[in-house]
Amino acid sequence: MPEGTKIQVPAVMQMGVEVKPAAEQSVREYDMSKWFEQMQQQVVGCIVLACVHVHWGYVTPLALQCATAPLQLLEAPLVKIHLLHKPATGSLKRPFPAPSLLPFLPPTPEPPKEKPKKDKVKKSK
């Protein structure tokens, strides 16, 4: 993928703390960082489930992971853009919207931008 245009990536905030500062990245750099995050999430999930299986012998979480991991990948914006060749517009426009901590709830809307208030000066007669 060519370098492409630069995009403004907003800062990542979690629990009111800035985890990752805002930056300007090329489309390629942004996609690679998102790919790395997705792969890291998949690997950590597999390691945790393997430890649970080895320690307690549970099989059900392994079966659920085998079913949900491919579904999560199919829902990922990078898969839709690069493998399914969908245009990067709408919800697939970069930078991608941050995933919700509670995926079953609708995303929280951005607070409305406040308009500057005009001071009204009363003229005396």
- List, for residues 67-80, the tens digit of each pLDDT value: 999 998 899 999 99
| Across 100-120, average pLDDT | 61
CB 94 within 8 A of CB 30: yes
Q: Give the rounded percent of residues in the chain with a pLDDT score beyond 90.
A: 54
Say if 115 falls within a structural domain. no
Q: How far apart are the first and last CA of the chain?
A: 70
Say if 83 falls within a structural domain. yes
Residue 93 pLDDT > 70, yes or no? yes
Torsion sign (Cα): 68, 34, 31, 14: positive
Say if 67 falls within a structural domain. yes
| Across 69-96, average pLDDT | 92
- Based on its alpha-carbon atoms, the radius of gyration of the chain, rounded to whole angstroms, reads 21
Which residues make beta-bridge pairs with 14? 17
Say if 95 falls within a structural domain. no
- Domain count for the chain: 1
Domain extent, residue 17, equals: 6-90
Say if 97 falls within a structural domain. no
- List, for residues 26-78, the tens digit of each pLDDT value: 999 999 999 999 999 999 999 999 999 999 998 999 899 999 999 988 999 99
Say if 111 falls within a structural domain. no
Torsion sign (Cα): 74, 77, 83, 87: positive
Residue 8 pLDDT > 60, yes or no? yes
Say if 16 falls within a structural domain. yes
Which of 49, 40, 45, 6 minimizes the C-alpha distance to 26? 6
| H or E element at residue 19 | strand 17-20
pLDDT of the residue at 110? 56
